[in-house]
Structure 1
């Protein structure tokens, strides 16, 4: 039943068309038709939410609300509530949702409710989750001044919005292209500068500095709100006149679901919000979004295989319109250089500071199973990327090794057309544990161009790749001194790597590990046990695959594991196995299928999980 629930959201024709156009192999839609526990948790922990809806002219708009974690939270099954300061005068989403009623009157939606989409986002930790659903009701009221001298007066055009949204779909997304921002609340003091589709100078300047946008798109009775990021200036201004500005930006390689572009394929309308996190200024845009592929994309934005050209039909540029401020942190290590229009010369102001190039050299390779290997790298300049912590990933660029340049079609390797050859791999070694400070290890499964290249490479050949930095926060929470609790971890196959990286720093006697692994991958289990001899007695192993046609090595591995002190089950992990009353929180690292099932089993419990859908 859990599999049916997890896979019950079909692709629509626009998404299927994009998959075919971009040569994406078929896979199930990972969206869940409800608010998953992980999505609910992230919504409550995120200080921002981007919201999209459609106005009475059928135009999509997007806004950005928030300030403090907790302003949005689950209030019932698959229902979230939002309460936050807003610009009640010029925010187009506020206008569409509340229809100008700002006296606290409750607005109730009839029938199924107004179509909406949301994106709770924690930019400081690069986490986000997509939500789609319906507005059930809400209210908008003015704010009373918090200045004692001004009591009795409302801050002009500032208000407090309360909103209840029924969630019909949710999906966790990858951290790619999110530049860190530390968010703090602020009272909006909106001042409308322009409502013309021809952008004023302030809006043009905002675009030239923007490293983040949020986009909403629609398809019949569905909607999508998502984030796009890049280096400052990644959105280019093609033209700007009385009939409306034209914008363009590249679509970088992502998770290849193409949910936003799938909507645009059938309904080429999009709503954008471009925030200036430092000043609180904001640009709202709605218009026609045309998808450019292959030569058409490269003709507008060289070195791009996929891009969007947006013709603005409506816009609002508002000073001090945001209910928060954001202090810039680290840029995304995924960000490429700005891609300029064919009609413009590179502008130094948009180039940003050059990224320090750091080389990671392959110095050791160990093949643990036919499809899993461990690779050790030595960093040429360890000070450049800084230090990494257990549970983080390394961002590596294989472009110099594998990128063969632009190709319109490549039937022998179609996935390479839209591949940036940038990958994140969980670091599976502990800092300086049997390694020097300039070394780290990754343990990966052979799957795709990059990992195949790694498996074929030799440490004697001098494989040098670019290390772009470290990221991720998948760490076990520290417990107060004297407090011991059970540490429960569920791993699916190679999903054991975040745990391996942290084992030297924890008390293994606290650990209760549930590990599902294919019989062909028992070499990984035995290697892990050799590194950590205390681990078998803390592990319950679920070995999948039949006993028929096992090789002698696989039979020997199975016998070794069975005699290690581990509880071994020759079956899949089941819900009954996770009856651990003393577990306060669960950690999960698995593929899409197992992750969805386990989250259903652990509904209502605190689950911290890592995703590999990017």
Structure 2
């Protein structure tokens, strides 16, 4: 589908390739992708709530909880849980972005489409299906996959001191974006601890490193700044979701102060939702990506 936001970002970045980004992505789930999905215990999702705020969330289950009954349909045997801003939102069909990521192998794939509840399951009709490169993914493996879940949600307007430490120590987060008429998207961002910084009480900044030049995330932000971030506490099973608005700063002098950055993204926080004991999996850290700038 034609996406003026992606084209505008590519022009500003000095790229003139046509047919890239959303325009070059198909809607069919290849057999290798279906097999990959069937092995995953986690799926990151992106969608907007009824107010228009955009959120990133995560669905989890034992391997096999994601199935593909045909080459345009994905079924997830689960829905956003209690306290999650997207809980109950799929009673009516809406745009969804999905990211399946396998940290142990550094493989990932993205799916964008339309989703609705089907009983206790989520049914997705695919519109875009594609894989991504392994850059900036830190390796992790599941050490426990059936930990009891006892969800408790805490909502604030800005991060607490403990949450600020969580953010600035993170090596990974996920970002959700959406543009009306063009769909939702879920993506991954990674780097060494400290690659995400906080300024003041409610502004968060991260560098935009060399990627695959599709600019799906930045293209969406060019048209609609509303977005959501998801941080995982991999060892304890907690989640932290932030919603707000992001702006890409194209100032080369500012980017030059951050190793590896082509540009910086500033995110102004509007709400924080932390769900303690949200995930049944526990993950152990392996090693950092060799692509992470120092």
Report how far residue 251 of structure 1 moved.
Answer: 0.8
Match of 2:274 in 1: 317
Q: Does 1:268 align with 2:225?
A: yes
**Aligned residues: CA RMSD:** 1.9
Aligned mate of 1:328, from 285, 289, 292: 285
**1:336 shift after superposition:** 1.2
Which whole-Å CA distance do the structure 2 matches of 1:115 and 1:204 have between them?
30
Per-residue deviation, residues 71-122 of structure 1 (Å, max 9, x unmatched) = 11102331011114x662211122433xxxxxxxxx4x3xxx2111101111
Instruction: Find the counterpart in structure 1 of residue 3 from structure 2.
Output: 12
**Cα distance 1:320–1:87, how it changes in 2: closer, same or farther (>3 A)?**
farther
SS at match of 1:262: helix
Partner of 2:86: 93
Larger Rg: 1
Conserved? CA contact 1:45–1:70, under 8 Å: yes
CA shift, 1:43, in A, is 1.6
| TM-score normalised per structure 2 | 0.91
1:485-564 equivalence runs, <5 A: none
Tell me the SS of whatever aligns to 1:134. Answer: strand
User: Structure 1: any 5+ residue segments left out of the alignment?
Assistant: 1-9, 98-106, 141-161, 338-614
> What residue in structure 1 maps to residue 63 of structure 2?
69
Cα separation, partners in 2 of 1:264 and 1:307, compared to 1, 3 Å: same
* Structure 2 residues not aligned, in runs of 5+: none
Partner Cα separation in structure 2 for residue 267 and residue 315 of structure 1: 20
Q: What secondary structure is seen at the aligned counterpart in 2 of 1:313?
A: strand
**Partner of residue 133 from structure 2, selected from 158, 174, 177:** 174
Shift in CA distance, 269/328, structure 1 to aligned 2, threshold 3 Å: same
1:531-560 C-alpha deviation (Å, 9 max, x unpaired): xxxxxxxxxxxxxxxxxxxxxxxxxxxxxx
CA distance in 1 between partners of 2:292 and 2:71 (Å): 37
CA contact (8 A) 1:131 1:167 kept: yes
Say if 1:47 and 1:121, in contact at 8 Å, map to a contact too: no
Higher relative contact order (CA 8 A, sep 6+): 2
- Following the alignment from structure 1 to structure 2, what is the Cα–Cα distance between the partners of residues 248 and 120? 24
1:209–1:26 CA distance, 2 compared to 1 (3 A): same
Q: For residue 304 of structure 1, give the secondary structure of its aligned residue in structure 2.
A: coil
Higher strand share: 2
1:45 maps onto 2:39 in alignment = yes
**1:252 aligns to 2:209 (yes or no):** yes
Mark the CA change 1:87 to 1:164 in structure 2 (over 3 Å): closer, same or farther: closer
Q: Say yes or no: does 1:137 pair with 2:117.
A: yes
Conserved 8 A contact 1:281-1:318: yes
Preserved CA contact (<8 Å) 1:87 1:321: no
- Kept in 2: contact 1:297–1:305 (CA 8 A): no
> How far apart are 1:133 and its partner, in Å?
0.8
**Larger helix share, 1 or 2:** 1
Number of residue pairs matched by the alignment: 288
**Shift of residue 201, structure 1, vs aligned partner:** 2.0
Question: Which secondary structure state, in structure 1, belongs to the residue aligned with residue 156 of structure 2?
Answer: coil
8 Å CA contact 1:87–1:189 kept in 2: the answer is: no
Q: CA deviation at 1:300?
A: 7.5
Aligned-residue offset at 1:290: 0.3
Q: 2:187 aligns to what? A: 226
Moved more, 198-207 or 259-268: 198-207
Matched residue, 2:19: 28
Q: How does 1:236-315 map to 2 (within 5 A)?
A: 236-240=197-201, 245-295=202-252, 297-298=254-255, 301=258, 304-315=261-272
Query: Could you list the per-position Cα deviations for residues 372-406 of structure 1 after superposition, in whole angstroms to 9, with x for gaps in the alignment?
Result: xxxxxxxxxxxxxxxxxxxxxxxxxxxxxxxxxxx
Q: Deviations over 1:160-205 (max 9, x none)?
A: xx2111111111110000001112423321222x311211122112
SS at match of 2:119: strand
Aligned counterparts, 1:147-162, within 5 A: 162=121
Contact 2:65/2:76 (<8 A) preserved: yes
Task: Please give the secondary structure, in 1, of the residue aligned with 2:289.
Answer: coil
Q: Call closer, same or farther: CA 1:19–1:190 in 2, change over 3 Å.
A: same
Conserved 8 A contact 1:115-1:223: yes
Query: 1:302, 1:253 → 2: CA distance?
Result: 11
1:91 partner SS: coil
CA contact (8 A) 2:57 2:80 kept: no
Q: Which residue of 1 aligns with 2:122?
A: 163
Residues 309 and 299 of structure 1, relative CA distance in 2, 3 Å threshold: farther
The TM-score normalised by the length of structure 1 is 0.45
Distance 1:300 1:199 in 2: 25
Distance 2:243 2:221 in 1: 13
